[in-house]
Chain A
């Protein structure tokens, strides 16, 4: 009988040995790595989550990333009562905050997925399985893309937490305690990975839609360099490198500005030639309660009509503060076409964060196409809209910022001005909003980035880089007071969750927490 126990094996479930008997499994695993950012598990929209400890919809990578980058800033508030969610805007979070904790878990999960993919596709394993030459060639590209995705998550980890447990494909699974890394080592690692895979990634613009190519690598490297001074300390800036990588993207001539700004955020934004690296969603086949489902539904409420957004109903959660509205001259009536405020029935100032009609709404992400038709899901729940993680406009803004004399990244001021004016011509519909080189200041760049890239997961990183996230600026309800108050600088990075500190004795808490 004992042998019967020994012989008991899972049924209808594959092990790592059997699953790769099917050559499609390599691509399916790679798809999982990409899907790791957009959806939350193996059953759409929910039911078989990747992560535990928080509601599945909340545990979605993009949704958490967005919340940590936007709700903590002047660009967004949320009205719900979900645990500690309001602490993000109040900037009084603790190491127990479940959103900060789950973002951390999600990032490490994503890195773990890539590590496993790289272990499974090692030469030894491929030899053992007798994988044929043409598939091996594909797998080499897959591996480069997987490493790009790992670098992306490590970049998020560096930006959010700095000192996180560090693992690669050289580590095992299970009974070990990962060692904590630091900003310098992590920075160096991400940089070296992105440089190493550059030649293995598909040339810019030539990969299948949704998959990373060289330009995605350049953009990530550029963003890493742009923030180097934040990560590595004053005087350690890498602005010239940031500019060089941005120029590679611009000069590849693969991407072009989308003539209509609003088209970047619609259900058919896959048609846009501006998006360098999107996170994909589909109303029928890529469903989740995080990601774009959140970004389309949550900002709809009050007198807004859900059908204008191609969805069956709004979630009445997310709005913005007056501090952000005021970045646009003329506010809700600004000549700057990037202003997509919805002010009818909404107040500019927020008296009660829980009340949707307090604060202007923003009508940016929609599940309708350019002709106004709703996306493919007839129930109006899940959008087709893709999330533009990297797009050409940002490359222009990086070039312009790196070229500022105070940044010292080289570059040409006139080119910088021209790049910015490309964005402003699109925004204004004519040259009336154009700037001159003398307008190119740090404050202008910070505000212009907000106007161009708001609600696209940039704001917190930008504010930190410009020294205005905690100590030097206020906005409504920052610090949990209506008018806003400054907070302590240690909050420029997030804490290591206490849950991991208690599980891994190798870890030390970030200073201040």
Chain B
């Protein structure tokens, strides 16, 4: 019997081979095997992820073997672009994260599994809304207007962006994060922002039929509320300011209590697997139901994942079919209620005349520009969407009969999504009754996103024992991908009550075709050289700019295999890595930015000639010269293992320069048909240090404790912004805020971090209290105007870290993940837009608003939104995830029960609800709830 040594659990499917022969067998479901041997035969027991064991046969009738897990995981297979390698042979900076290491809990979106797990990788949930995705940043990205999100490749299919929610987190086997250009350059023009490769779970051959059922029930609630004036505070405030108290109501309503609720959720996974002699099958059904903490928000996913694998022709041909189907139903809450709850007069009641809800009225009905009843906004609007998606592919992998070292791999797949939605407004809703003649706002929308893929490559891989060239691994191939998106919408015209005839929808189409090659040479088993090359052809650019080449090179040295380190008791593994590579970026704007086209105007943008209305046509601006943004990255890294790999880790330094930045920026006035266009102008430089450490402080038979930590320091600087870099040009304003139409609070400026805040320097009195409207005259011209603004920090952290601890005591396990960020700042837009007297008192009709308690604290009368007072240090540490689990091995079933808390506490000086908002601007963000869940996992044997 072959068992897992520490747990004594039988291992099925272990390969058993008589050394030097082709004779062998494998263990059965119970870890048992039979083999005929003669004395002196050396039997090799090998199994993926375990250290191989060799035993010389000396006539025993039974050979019981305990395999130990390969803790160093050096031989662990890592999926990389168009192939795989082992941890040991990898030359680039990449990180593999397995399902055991994922964040636990009621997680609906795959991105959130990774938060805090990898150095250089930042995951920021976009909102607390159920099913909301997250922003992934690998090494910050370095683009300004172009996409800074990594390329996501699921089982070999590069996705076209958008939600990852079609992937069931339960079904993800591992993530590989490719960070440096040596690893990413094989993906060419889409790789500048890094690559995330997702591999889903597959069955194991020769495994027994297995049923697993997993259920998680969760409950979430908001962690805190924003400090607004209470009803009694507002009454006092109105009287203190000598305003008319007769506008106030008699109620005491906490609008935040009215719009939020406890949110329940349930996640079910039923998985069936069976292994055969030559293959396996795995089927998973998932139902995820998640209510949002904001009333009426709801998310439901029904998904089926299917994986079939079979080997033919004496294992020479491997066929793998994967299909992921999902049906996602969303009810989107009207998130306008979040801001409205903060701004709505707490002395007014919830209920009233407008569809059952109170609204402010004037002589003509509902007061036109008054705040809207937050509860009404939620309850009287219904916006639902259903998205159907299937991601499927078939991979054929053929080892040539005459040359088994040569493989042909063909991957054909598609990603197809259809969605349709409709929204409906109650005709009695106050927010719908701005005028007697107005019709209810009703509409539908739908669309299709599809993407098809065909790629193939040849791989030749051979190891040579004893020669100087100890191994070669060469790949060359071709890939083709075509994207197509279209969307339609039809809205009822609220003036006429009839549906406007929409203009024909314009589809987005993109074809990417590439040739790629990779060569990997190992000399003396210690020196590994890798070179990659990719040529991309994109339909996005004109014929002259369509082709681009993306090369990379890397070298790694397995220093610990050198004689002088081989016997070191301290250093068990040491690998040095150096790499260089060029990648591209093309994800910007429309499908044909280089082509002049005409756009038709709709029915409401006509112009009258005489008595006739003439529809208009508009020539669009274009940029014939548009081409790829190009990024060059250098990386130096060390992988190390100390004390027999009790401590392992990595250390990486990188330097990246992006040039010909794709920027949506001002064109020279008069030179084109638009004032802003996508253009290649500007440069950024990014640098960073990434440290990862894994350690096993304790490992005994009953108790083990693993910790891992990562720490990242990084920065990005704009080194060229415009054509002339006029020193008087403050930069491109970005970062829209509430509190005035078109206002921005951030700037992309030369020699500064992208998205720096651009604000006035607040003057304070002797006691430290800010003086209203008094700012430092930074340019000394005795006029305070926008020339006196300065750049102050940004929303991007200077450093961030993650820390995970996993403890196992017998059948009990306990895990937690801490995550934090330093030097990230946040513009508190709620304070700035609602923290002054006029925001509350100066309304257009006979009513008041509400606002931040800041209005009382600062005593500000007027809006001071550009003051640096509102840019707060939002450094934080979060206990993201904590879980306690207990496994009970019954005879026929293994039961695991777990209790999980998510988003338990946050330590920060930031005064808003959440210091982690990727834009750096905190304005009515759907709050991220604190969630507790109970999970039960039944594994039927």
Q: Do A and B bind each other?
A: yes
Seen from chain A, the residues whose Cβ lies within 8 Å of a Cβ on chain B are: 1-2, 4-6, 8, 10-16, 19, 25, 27-32, 34-35, 38-39, 41-45, 48, 50-55, 57-58, 80-85, 87, 90, 92-98, 104-105, 108-109, 111-113, 116, 120, 164-167, 171, 173-178, 208-211, 280, 282-288, 301, 305-307, 312-316, 352, 354-356, 377-382, 480, 498-505, 509
Q: With contacts A116-B673, A175-B625, A378-B435 known, is A80 near B602, CB below 8 A?
A: no
Which of B78-86, B809-817, B860-868 lines the interface with chain A? Answer: B860-868
Q: With contacts A98-B742, A501-B724 known, is A177 near B671, CB below 8 A?
A: yes
A312–B742 touching, CB < 8 Å: no
Which residues on A sit within 8 Å (CB–CB) of B730?
96, 498
- B68 interfacial by beta-carbon distance below 8 Å: no
- B588 interfacial by beta-carbon distance below 8 Å: no
- B438 interfacial by beta-carbon distance below 8 Å: yes
B602–A499 touching, CB < 8 Å: no
A305–B363 touching, CB < 8 Å: yes
- B729 interfacial by beta-carbon distance below 8 Å: yes
A475 to chain B, nearest CB (A): 18
Which of B173-181, B364-372, B695-703 lines the interface with chain A? Answer: B364-372
User: Can you give 19 A-B contacts (C-beta < 8 A)?
Assistant: A5-B537, A29-B619, A43-B605, A45-B604, A53-B675, A83-B742, A84-B786, A92-B783, A96-B730, A98-B742, A166-B670, A174-B625, A174-B672, A209-B610, A282-B608, A379-B434, A380-B434, A500-B669, A502-B666
Interface of A is mostly: loop
- Give the A-B contact count at a CB cut-off of 8 A: 334
- B592 interfacial by beta-carbon distance below 8 Å: yes
A83–B743 touching, CB < 8 Å: yes
- B251 interfacial by beta-carbon distance below 8 Å: no
B838–A355 touching, CB < 8 Å: yes
Which residues on A sit within 8 Å (CB–CB) of B838?
352, 354-355
State which of B364, B538, B844, B863 has its C-beta within 8 Å of the C-beta of A312: B364
A15–B496 touching, CB < 8 Å: no
Task: Give bound CA distance, A109 to B724, whole Å.
Answer: 22
Q: Could you give, for residues 655-676 of chain B, a 1 whenever the CB lies within 8 Å of some chain A CB and a 0 otherwise?
A: 0000000001111111111111
State which of A25, A30, A173, A378 has its C-beta within 8 Å of the C-beta of B672: A173
Nearest B residue to A99 by beta-carbon distance? B742
Which residues on A sit within 8 Å (CB–CB) of B54?
none
A11–B669 touching, CB < 8 Å: no
- B733 interfacial by beta-carbon distance below 8 Å: yes
- B615 interfacial by beta-carbon distance below 8 Å: yes
State which of B607, B608, B613 has its C-beta within 8 Å of the C-beta of A32: B607
State which of A19, A39, A176 has its C-beta within 8 Å of the C-beta of B617: A19
A58–B614 touching, CB < 8 Å: no
B625–A503 touching, CB < 8 Å: no
Nearest B residue to A4 by beta-carbon distance? B511
Which residues on A sit within 8 Å (CB–CB) of B863?
81, 354
A433 to chain B, nearest CB (A): 36
Task: Give bound CA distance, A378 to B538, whole Å.
Answer: 49
A42–B601 touching, CB < 8 Å: yes
Interface of B is mostly: loop
Seen from chain B, the residues whose Cβ lies within 8 Å of a Cβ on chain A are: 363-364, 367-369, 434-438, 480, 494-496, 504-507, 509, 511, 513, 537-539, 543, 546, 591-592, 595-611, 613-619, 621-625, 664-676, 721-726, 728-730, 732-733, 739-744, 783-787, 838, 842, 844, 861-863, 865
Identify the interface centre among B606, B675, B732: most chain A CB within 10 Å of its CB. B675
Which residues on B sit within 8 Å (CB–CB) of A305?
363-364
Task: Give bound CA distance, A99 to B616, whole Å.
Answer: 26
Nearest A residue to B602 by beta-carbon distance? A43
B364–A94 touching, CB < 8 Å: no
B509–A87 touching, CB < 8 Å: no
A110 to chain B, nearest CB (A): 11
State which of B364, B740, B787 has its C-beta within 8 Å of the C-beta of A81: B740
Q: With contacts A19-B617, A34-B607, A167-B670 known, is A13 near B741, CB below 8 A?
A: no
State which of A5, A120, A480, A503 has its C-beta within 8 Å of the C-beta of B722: A503
B729–A108 touching, CB < 8 Å: no
Which residues on B sit within 8 Å (CB–CB) of A45?
604
B619–A58 touching, CB < 8 Å: no
Identify the interface centre among B437, B610, B786: most chain A CB within 10 Å of its CB. B786
B359 to chain A, nearest CB (A): 13
A81–B369 touching, CB < 8 Å: no
A315–B369 touching, CB < 8 Å: yes
- Known pairs A32-B616, A501-B726. 10 more at Cβ < 8 A? A27-B609, A31-B609, A39-B607, A52-B676, A116-B619, A173-B671, A174-B623, A209-B610, A282-B608, A504-B723
B741–A15 touching, CB < 8 Å: no
State which of B608, B666, B784, B842 has its C-beta within 8 Å of the C-beta of A499: B666
B672 to chain A, nearest CB (A): 6
Which residues on A sit within 8 Å (CB–CB) of B601?
32, 35, 41-44
Q: With contacts A355-B838, A377-B495, A499-B729 known, is A108 near B675, CB below 8 A?
A: yes
Task: Give bound CA distance, A208 to B615, whole Å.
Answer: 16
A367 to chain B, nearest CB (A): 12
B742–A8 touching, CB < 8 Å: no
B596–A51 touching, CB < 8 Å: no
Which residues on B sit within 8 Å (CB–CB) of A35?
601, 605-607, 616
Nearest A residue to B724 by beta-carbon distance? A505
B609–A210 touching, CB < 8 Å: yes
Q: With contacts A31-B614, A352-B861, A502-B724 known, is A15 near B671, CB below 8 A?
A: no
Nearest B residue to A165 by beta-carbon distance? B670
State which of A1, A12, A25, A378 has its C-beta within 8 Å of the C-beta of B437: A378
Which residues on B sit within 8 Å (CB–CB) of A80?
740-741
Which residues on B sit within 8 Å (CB–CB) of A14?
597-598, 617
Task: Give bound CA distance, A288 to B504, whole Å.
Answer: 22
State which of B437, B597, B664, B729 has its C-beta within 8 Å of the C-beta of A380: B437
B617–A97 touching, CB < 8 Å: no
A231 to chain B, nearest CB (A): 20
Task: Give bound CA distance, A163 to B641, whole Å.
Answer: 68
B438–A378 touching, CB < 8 Å: yes
Q: With contacts A109-B673, A312-B364, A354-B838 known, is A174 near B624, CB below 8 A?
A: yes
Task: Give bound CA distance, A38 to B604, whole Å.
Answer: 12
Which residues on A sit within 8 Å (CB–CB) of B603?
44, 285
State which of B363, B438, B671, B733 has its C-beta within 8 Å of the C-beta of A98: B733
Which residues on B sit within 8 Å (CB–CB) of A43?
601-602, 604-605
Nearest B residue to A302 by beta-carbon distance? B844
B742–A58 touching, CB < 8 Å: yes
B511–A93 touching, CB < 8 Å: no
State which of B605, B619, B668, B844 has its C-beta within 8 Å of the C-beta of A41: B605
B596–A173 touching, CB < 8 Å: yes
Task: Give bound CA distance, A380 to B668, whole Å.
Answer: 39
State which of B505, B609, B624, B729 has its C-beta within 8 Å of the C-beta of A498: B729
State which of A2, A175, A480, A503 has its C-beta within 8 Å of the C-beta of B624: A175
Q: With contacts A28-B617, A354-B838 known, is A53 near B666, CB below 8 A?
A: yes
B613–A285 touching, CB < 8 Å: yes
A12–B506 touching, CB < 8 Å: yes
B617–A314 touching, CB < 8 Å: no
A94–B785 touching, CB < 8 Å: yes
Which residues on B sit within 8 Å (CB–CB) of A83?
740, 742-744
A164–B599 touching, CB < 8 Å: no
Task: Give bound CA distance, A82 to B742, whole Å.
Answer: 7
Closest A-B pairs by Cβ, 6 of them: A313-B368, A44-B604, A378-B437, A208-B610, A81-B740, A55-B742
A301–B509 touching, CB < 8 Å: no
Nearest B residue to A499 by beta-carbon distance? B666
Task: Give bound CA distance, A208 to B437, whole Å.
Answer: 32
Which residues on A sit within 8 Å (CB–CB) of B787?
94, 96
Q: With contacts A10-B592, A51-B675, A108-B669 known, is A501 near B625, CB below 8 A?
A: no
